[in-house]
Structure 1
Amino acid sequence: MNITRVRRAAGETAQFDLEEDFPPFEFGSETISFLSPVHVQLRVHNTGKLLLTQGMIVTELKAVCGRCLEDFRYPMNLSFEDEWVYAPSATEDQQESAFLFEKDEFMINERILEQIVLALPMKFVCTPNCQGLCPLCGANLNREKCRCVTSEVDPRLAGLAKLTLDD
Structure 2
Amino acid sequence: MCIGVVIVHINVAQIRRDENGTAHFDLKEDFSAFESELEGVDFVAPVHVQLQVNNTGKSLIVNGSIETELKAQCGLCLEPFHYQIHQDYEDEWVFAPQATKEQLETALVFHKDEIELTERILEQIVLALPMRFICSSECQGLCPVCGVNLNATSCACSQDKVDPRFAALANWPRED
TM-score normalised according to structure 1 size: 0.92
Structure 2 residue runs without a partner (length 5+): 1-9
Offset of 1:146 from its aligned partner? 1.4
Structure 1 residue runs without a partner (length 5+): none
1:165 aligns to 2:175 (yes or no)? yes
SS in 1 for 2:161: coil
Residue aligning to 2:141: 132
Runs of 4+ in 1 over 6 A off after TM superposition: none
1:26 aligns to 2:15 (yes or no)? no
Aligned-residue sequence identity (percent) comes to 56
RMSD, aligned α-carbons: 1.4
Alignment partners' CA distance in 2, 1:97 and 1:25: 30
Q: Kindly tell me: are residues 132 and 102 of structure 1, through their superposed partners in 2, closer, same or farther at Cα, counting changes over 3 Å?
A: same
Offset of 1:109 from its aligned partner? 1.6
Residue aligning to 1:66: 75
Alignment partners' CA distance in 2, 1:155 and 1:109: 50
Residues 23-54 of structure 1 show CA distances to partners (whole Å, capped at 9, x for unaligned) of 21434xx3321110011110001000000000
What count of residue pairs does the alignment treat as equivalent? 164
Residue aligning to 2:111: 102
One-letter amino acid matched to 1:165: E
Alignment partners' CA distance in 2, 1:153 and 1:72: 32
Offset of 1:156 from its aligned partner? 4.0
